[in-house]
Amino acid sequence: MTTFTHETDYLIVGAGAVGMAFADVLLSETDANIMIVDKYHKPGGHWNVAYPFVTLHQPSAFYGVSSTELSKGCIDKGGLNKGLNELATGAEVSAYFDNVMRERFLPSGRVSYFPMSEYKGDGKFVSVINDDEHQVTVNKKIVDATYLKTSVPSTHKPSFTVDDSARFMPINDLVKIDKKPAGFVIIGGGKTGIDACLWLLENKVNPDDIQWIVPRDAWLIDRKNTQPTIEFFNDAIGAQAAQMEAIAQSTSVDDMFSRLEKAGVFLRLDENVWPQMFHGATVSQMELAELKKIKNVIRKGRVTHVGQDNIQLEQGEIKTSPEHIHVDCSASAITNLAVKPIFSGNVVTPQTVRSYQPAFSAAFIAHIEASEKYPDEKSKNHICGVVPLPNGVMDWVRLTAAFMRNQHIWSQDDDLKQWLLENRLDGFSQLVRGVDKTDMEKMMILGRLRESAMPAMGKLQQYLAAEAAQGA
């Protein structure tokens, strides 16, 4: 074993989307030296172990690093995303991050990269393939780009027990099936469960051969409302205006979600089941129509045990057989929901500062770190208010209020407004700024949005105060 010593300005732990987006802005906006340490053999974080048919569930234009386009600028002409901006596949995202590292970061001469390494803390990391130890002197900041702790099915340990005789697999192994089973049991109601169901249906599995265990139904986002290009202005910005109006006019949290659904902001799997979960999952209308073909949806709580002949759940059991395939889709994409200050001493802990957009958030935080305009920790944390990651319905209220707070603060800073306009990960600023002032339809939408924003914020604060009073 050999011990090496290094010196760098920024030590970034994690080469996933967050770490890469942060490093990219530092490379563009500073002359700092950067060291990146990661446990995987190549950049991309959890994309290295994602299931083979995974895709982004929001447009590619919103993802990656600021300097390098991921989107090909195409509209999908087929499939369940037909008519919407393309969604990069897992293989495309993985290749993209690898290319950014090899073609942009390393040739700069200012980035050093240590894959297959385990970070031990205090500037120390160890190679997992040769036991070499490395001690780093960090002149400026350590960036913990692993804090959100993304969980993926292939490395996830289920919270329930499984009999050895049961056919049980992560979603990754669906593509390895070589013989038709008696049926499929999909365990998990989140985005991974949705992906598993859609993949089976796209591969012509009979919907009646699918049992879908959904512990909690979720509110879903209509992907049409997330499109960043001008032809979708009325859908994207129109949905934001409708959202503000629905919140402002609501009389209770339930009434608010009912109005949001009627306005087309949210979708749900079954109109007779009131969702209790919100993870920000996005689907197209065509995908939702496919999912509704599955009639055997099990709503008896979480799985506690998968046996040879039955599956135990919190609120009962269902029959199964050794000939059924049980697919684990129960991993949560983000496992660390605790919020902490982003800037604290010599450590930067990137978290989301805009709803559903970790890559943009990391880029924005890096810009604030790089800018001389925000010299102290207090001012940086003020601008980078954490938008908490959602789990339950009230979390949507919290994240929306936090997001609106940030947007208001950013709108008061001309330099930030210009940075947002020029940053490719922020498609909506460009969309709004590009509106022709003579286009009365679009100007009316923007007027609705502005008119309802403050009343909506007041209503959100009212609901949060009522929740706090109940919990006191």
Q: CA–CA separation, 14 vs 361, rounded Å?
A: 15
- Per cent of the chain over pLDDT 70 is 98
Between the two ends of the chain, the Cα-to-Cα distance in Å is 55
Residue-wise pLDDT tens for the chain (472 aa)? 789 999 999 999 999 999 999 999 999 999 999 999 999 999 999 999 999 999 999 999 889 999 999 999 899 999 999 999 999 999 999 999 999 999 999 999 999 999 999 999 999 999 999 989 999 999 999 999 999 876 677 677 899 999 999 999 999 999 999 999 999 999 999 999 999 999 999 999 999 999 999 999 999 999 999 998 889 999 999 999 999 999 999 999 999 999 999 999 999 999 999 999 999 999 999 999 999 999 999 999 999 999 999 999 999 999 999 999 999 999 876 555 688 999 999 999 999 999 989 999 999 999 999 999 998 999 999 999 999 999 889 999 999 999 999 999 999 999 999 999 999 999 788 888 888 889 999 999 999 999 999 999 999 999 999 999 987 6
> Tokens in use for 298?
């099990």
All structural domains of the chain with their residue ranges = 3-149+335-391, 153-219+268-328
| Count of alpha carbons within 13 angstroms of residue 239, beta-carbon side | 18
Distances from the Cα of 401 to the Cαs of 84, 274, 281, 350, 386, in angstroms? 28, 23, 19, 19, 11
Residue 154 confidence (pLDDT)? 67
Residue 334 confidence (pLDDT)? 58
Q: CA–CA separation, 48 vs 373, rounded Å?
A: 37
Is residue 84 within 8 Å of residue 224, measured between CB atoms?
yes
Topology agreement, domain 3-149+335-391 and domain 153-219+268-328: yes
> Tokens in use for 367?
């810009």
3-state secondary structure the chain: CCEEEEEEEEEEECCCHHHHHHHHHHHHHCCCCEEEECCCCCCCHHHHHCCCCCECCCCHHHCCCCCCCCCCCCECCCCCCCCCECCCEHHHHHHHHHHHHHHHHHHHCCEEEECCEEEEECCEEEECCCCCEEEEEEEEEEEECCCCCECCHHHCCCCCEECCCCEEEEHHHHHHCCCCCCEEEEECCCHHHHHHHHHHHHCCCCHHHEEEECCCCECEEEHHHHCCCHHHHHHHHHHHHHHHHHHHHCCCHHHHHHHHHHCCCEECCCCCCCCCECCCCEECHHHHHHHCCCCCEECCCCEEEECCCEEEECCEEEECCCCEEEEECCCCCECCCCCCCCEECCEECCCCCCCCCHHHHHHHHHHHHHCCCCCCHHHHHHHCCCCCCCCEHHHHHHHHHHHHHHHHHHHCCHHHHHHHHHCCCCHHHHHHHCCCCCCHHHHHHHHHHHHHHHHHHHHHHHHHHHHHHHHC
Q: CA–CA separation, 196 vs 160, rounded Å?
A: 19
Q: CA–CA separation, 63 vs 424, rounded Å?
A: 9
Is residue 458 within 8 Å of residue 464, measured between CB atoms?
no
- Please name the fold of domain 153-219+268-328: FAD/NAD(P)-binding domain (3.50.50)
Is residue 88 within 8 Å of residue 96, measured between CB atoms?
yes
Residue with tokens 């707070």: 405
* 331 alpha carbon, distance to own chain's centre: 14
Ramachandran class of 316: left when φ > 0, alpha when ψ lies in -120 to 50, beta otherwise: left
Is residue 144 within 8 Å of residue 343, measured between CB atoms?
no
The one-letter amino acid at 27: L
Query: Does the global pTM surpass 0.85?
Result: yes
Ramachandran class of 113: left when φ > 0, alpha when ψ lies in -120 to 50, beta otherwise: beta
Q: CA–CA separation, 226 vs 66, rounded Å?
A: 19
Per DSSP bridges, beta strands 303-306 and 161-162 are parallel
> Tokens in use for 401?
């209020």
Residue 333 confidence (pLDDT)? 62
Q: What angle do CA 290, 355, 70 make, to 5 degrees?
A: 70
**Per-residue model confidence as pLDDT tens digits over 304-340:** 999 999 999 999 999 999 999 999 999 876 555 688 9
Burial (Cβ within 10 Å: 0-12, 13-18, ≥19) of residue 277? buried
Residue 149 confidence (pLDDT)? 74
Residue 277 confidence (pLDDT)? 93
Say how many C-beta atoms besides its own lie within 10 A of residue 317's C-beta. Answer: 16
Residues 6+ apart with CB under 8 A from 77: none
Residue 335 confidence (pLDDT)? 58
* 115 alpha carbon, distance to own chain's centre: 24
Phi, psi (degrees; rounded to nearest 5) at 449: -65, -50
Is the domain defined by 3-149+335-391 classed in CATH 3.20.20.10?
no
Edge-to-edge strands of the sheet including 220-222? 266-267, 220-222, 282-283
